[in-house]
Amino acid sequence: MEMSHLASRFLSLEAKLLDERRYDEWLDMLGDQITYEVPIRLSRREFVDETKSGCYHICDNKELLKLRVARFHCGEAWAERPASRTLRVVGSVLVNPTDEEAIFEVDSALLLCRQRNSDRPCDTIAVRRSDRISLGAERPLLLSRRAIPIDTVLHTPNLSVFV
């Protein structure tokens, strides 16, 4: 139960930091060897066939994530001008131990509301996430994320926000 609470708290803090555009603090929550994947979803008869290897909206490591954040800071990220206003709601958190000490598989659902202009309603992006999180003594770290959107076609102008 304690690990479930820690994982939920970690994911809630991550959502708050991203919503408040505190990207440098968010980067500090990521392991150095992180893999961050948002695969393209396909319409298939069987659930296991809905993503294909090598087909991604995003497939980044920590260095690429740092570059994305640096673009936000320099003011040249045209996809984020004006900056998105976001609200992330994390739920359905399930925590399972792994064979590695203090490393947990954490599944969650994310509902991301994103609004960029004042004349349009917000875009809603819903994803199912599979994370590996280290909940060790030093500090929790996100080691990997695979976020699968529920939509096969994203109904947002771009995916310049983190899921």
The pLDDT assigned to 157 comes to 65
**C-alpha pair distances (Å), 84 with each of 26, 32, 158, 160:** 17, 27, 11, 9
Whether 99 maps to a domain, the answer reads yes
Tokens 């739920």 locate to 91
pLDDT tens digits for 142-158? 999 999 988 767 666 66
Whether 155 maps to a domain, the answer reads no
Containing domain of residue 21, as a range? 2-149
Contacts of 43 (CB under 8 A, 6+ apart): 50, 152
How many helices (H) does the chain have, and how many strands (E)?
3, 6
Question: At 93, which CATH number?
Answer: 3.10.450.50
Whether 158 maps to a domain, the answer reads no
Whether 16 maps to a domain, the answer reads yes
Whether 163 maps to a domain, the answer reads no
* Count of domains for the chain: 1
Whether 96 maps to a domain, the answer reads yes
pLDDT tens digits for 10-46? 999 999 999 999 999 999 999 999 999 989 877 766 6
Whether 61 maps to a domain, the answer reads yes
